[in-house]
Structure 1
């Protein structure tokens, strides 16, 4: 299949979207997607991620810019000519058709002969492990089963691209996790290219090749899940992805990519310096709850900060401790629920420690 000049299968080039010709809901969106990638668009409500998906599907027009699939611009191409499969949150199955008939529908629309349709339907029923369900109707299936059928129907005509818009939003936690596994399994087995929209961070981190984090119509960072979590590019991404602690401070100096930061109470902290950070400026230190430890500890550390224990919550496999530092900033620590877990009472003072490499100083 032809690719873009830069080797990408799908490219967004300076794509913008405005509904009123005044306010941009998507601002200069650029993204290259390789064949077989699983790209998730993640962000808060109103951030522009679903609008990007609708423009790619052809259901929304592009105000300016270009969308290219397999080397061909599809910006002005009708939706039905883009060879794209879609999976929706509400399944969008035909209730009056059996499961087999639902799967056969996109093949019949494409004039495939009856014998080939039957073989393809049976193949995909086996693929989603529902080989004996062909004669049932959507109303006779569970939510998870209906979503598997919706996924199979989107894949059965072998589209160049699959779009998924909050496909697991209607499922409970256990079913969501099962379907995350199902979608990942099928993606690995068939190698199709996916653009996936969700507001669920765990879902995005679990399933994606890369995640594009949106805020106010702008992609803040697009990276692999581990890089996004461990090395966020700015304070918004650090705050939006997973849990984080933010400690205000002032940059004393920057040397070799490391910032020396003074925090309230007179402590000095060493952290990785984010892009744009300058000596003498106010900053905010970002540190994940699982990267902090309470002395005494066997873990190595570069930084130490005295804090007051406020309370703690038992969560099962771990205990969540809440502390308060000198100027009132609250800090959360996740501690494994084992024999080494500290026994602290409200008001107790404790030394919190961590490694400089696990802490990032962002411009305030």
Structure 2
């Protein structure tokens, strides 16, 4: 009797490295277990190695060293077309001379499915992406969002167990991107395939993912759920890359496993949650999200407080960004809802800013 498959390790990257010139690694010792049906996003700036990892899993790039397994079986030496993996690209990769129906039928005919089965699956796929009336059209007669739906349907039509998506929404405008995010999540929940998604858009990653692996220079800095990444980043790079953050330079005064006391460059003493900051006496950085900072008042007085000079504000519709300068000329920003409680400030006004100990994170300065 064959051993049971561990679905928590459905896709495995084990110490995977990739180099194009045998000297410089573009992917450094990548290790990650992906559960069956999970939606995992590889997130990072351009050139950080995330797409290379996707291409190695798809079979379009060789692995320099390490191993990739699916259901416990190595796939490194299996041809791409035998891996049962669907692929969605940013620029659709549809055949312009084929109709939508012909584009969808193509991967099935390559697999030599009977014509009746091809016809059924094409009709079902068009229903799935709500394009039943568009089968006879050519890709050039579709909108960007419609073409991406066809590309998504084509990647799913042969019922792959894994679907890889490389910046699939990068060519769409903001509204279409948001619609397609919802569409992809709907299909993922409905069909239950394992999704590995590549993007440099952190908002997109936070919206769609079960877990996010944050890349920088070929190394995964942190892999965690969206809320964990946002609220407890493991280092200053992740804190800065995921959402907006204020970084204030300081020195560690004392620290334990839970809290760190530090002195900011303007002399203020504050406390924060302990991140990866060094021991007492070393330089560090305090990370505080702008939505967790407040202008101190009789109604708002939290654990930490510093003085700052108001510079200007930026109106962004539903919220306002307020920019301040500290005594050492460093800047700090507050984000507040644009409601009746939004403060009115004059340039040059000196005020106190306040935040909770649990909303600040003391991090190692060297990772910024």
Query: Structure 2 vs 1, CA of residues 341 and 17 (structure 1 numbering), >3 Å: closer, same or farther?
Result: same
CA contact (8 A) 2:259 2:273 kept: yes
CA contact (8 A) 1:221 1:237 kept: yes
Distance 2:3 2:257 in 1: 44
**Partner in structure 1 of residue 209 of structure 2:** 208
CA contact (8 A) 1:267 1:305 kept: yes
Distance 1:163 1:283 in 2: 38
Distance 2:152 2:247 in 1: 40
Distance 2:341 2:193 in 1: 46
Query: Structure 2 vs 1, CA of residues 361 and 276 (structure 1 numbering), >3 Å: closer, same or farther?
Result: closer
Residue 307 of structure 1 pairs with residue 303 of structure 2 = no
Q: Partner of 1:96: helix, strand, or coil?
A: coil
Distance 2:343 2:254 in 1: 35
Q: Partner of 2:120: helix, strand, or coil?
A: helix
CA contact (8 A) 1:4 1:69 kept: no
C-alpha deviation, 1:276, in angstroms: 4.9
Q: Where do residues 214-363 of structure 1 align in structure 2 (5 Å cutoff)? A: 214-255=215-256, 257-296=258-297, 298-299=299-300, 301-363=302-364
**Partner in structure 1 of residue 24 of structure 2:** 23
Distance 2:308 2:178 in 1: 37
CA contact (8 A) 2:16 2:64 kept: yes
Query: Structure 2 vs 1, CA of residues 297 and 172 (structure 1 numbering), >3 Å: closer, same or farther?
Result: farther
Residue 170 of structure 1 pairs with residue 171 of structure 2 = yes
Tell me the number of residue pairs that the alignment of Structure 1 and Structure 2 aligns. 364
CA contact (8 A) 2:246 2:287 kept: yes
CA deviations over 1:121-152 (Å, ceiling 9, x no partner): 11111110111111111111100000000000
Q: CA RMSD in A?
A: 1.5
Residue 95 of structure 1 pairs with residue 101 of structure 2 = no
Q: Partner of 2:133: helix, strand, or coil?
A: coil
**Greater shift after overlay, 115-124 or 216-225?**
115-124
- TM-score after normalising by structure 1: 0.97
- Large movers: runs of 4+ above 3 Å: 1-7, 297-300
**Partner in structure 2 of residue 181 of structure 1:** 182
Distance 2:178 2:203 in 1: 10
**Greater shift after overlay, 239-248 or 6-15?**
6-15
C-alpha deviation, 1:343, in angstroms: 1.0
C-alpha deviation, 1:6, in angstroms: 8.0
Distance 1:191 1:300 in 2: 47
CA contact (8 A) 2:7 2:36 kept: no
**Partner in structure 2 of residue 129 of structure 1:** 130
Q: Partner of 2:132: helix, strand, or coil?
A: coil
CA contact (8 A) 2:86 2:163 kept: yes
C-alpha deviation, 1:300, in angstroms: 5.6
Distance 1:277 1:360 in 2: 13
CA contact (8 A) 1:8 1:35 kept: yes
List alignment gaps of at least 5 residues for structure 2: none
Q: Partner of 2:153: helix, strand, or coil?
A: helix
C-alpha deviation, 1:101, in angstroms: 1.1
Query: Structure 2 vs 1, CA of residues 112 and 245 (structure 1 numbering), >3 Å: closer, same or farther?
Result: same
C-alpha deviation, 1:97, in angstroms: 1.2
Query: Structure 2 vs 1, CA of residues 124 and 73 (structure 1 numbering), >3 Å: closer, same or farther?
Result: same
- TM-score after normalising by structure 2: 0.96
CA contact (8 A) 1:320 1:333 kept: yes
List alignment gaps of at least 5 residues for structure 1: none
**Partner in structure 2 of residue 57 of structure 1:** 58
Query: Structure 2 vs 1, CA of residues 163 and 349 (structure 1 numbering), >3 Å: closer, same or farther?
Result: same
**Greater shift after overlay, 109-118 or 350-359?**
109-118
CA deviations over 1:231-289 (Å, ceiling 9, x no partner): 10000000111110000111111145111111123211110111353111111000001
C-alpha deviation, 1:299, in angstroms: 4.4
CA contact (8 A) 2:8 2:36 kept: no
Query: Structure 2 vs 1, CA of residues 211 and 256 (structure 1 numbering), >3 Å: closer, same or farther?
Result: closer
